[in-house]
A = this chain, B = another copy of it.
């Protein structure tokens, strides 16, 4: 499964699966899936797009779950550390993990037109980078692999001039 996010798929199964896997993972490791954290994960899972911390905060505060930035950042930190979400560095935004449960190093394909983000696996790319790092005597702890460009849908749309919306909240 190379890149979840662009292909049409059963998204509610996608969401339900991720939520139950996250729940199980928390139970197994003694992590606490609190209301704010669960809701934050749900918000991220709703779309295969990266959301800013303040987008999350907006929703949380509408729902009475917290009104200040640290609420969102703390929940996001938890989700990222637990492996339920990733930070997309090129966007300063966050996205739910699409391969939840697999221990992996993500690679993102980011569409600059519709803002959707697909998560691929980097195993191949990472091997080569590891080689280069080893040669330099560098020990890698975390890798960021992100590619910006145009997704299949947006390549045909009049050369991707404007802003196109996709997903569950158009």
Contact = CB atoms under 8 A, between A and B. Distances in A.
Contacts of A155: 137, 139
A129 B3 CA distance: 11
Interface residues of A, number: 42
Contacts of A149: 133, 138-142
Contact of A122 (B3, B6, B129): B129
A9 to B, nearest CB: 13
B152 A137 contact: yes
Copies in the complex: 2
A151 B133 CA distance: 9
A170 to B, nearest CB: 21
B142 A148 contact: yes
Interface string A89-108: 11010000000000000010
Contact of A136 (B120, B144, B145): B120
B90 A135 contact: no
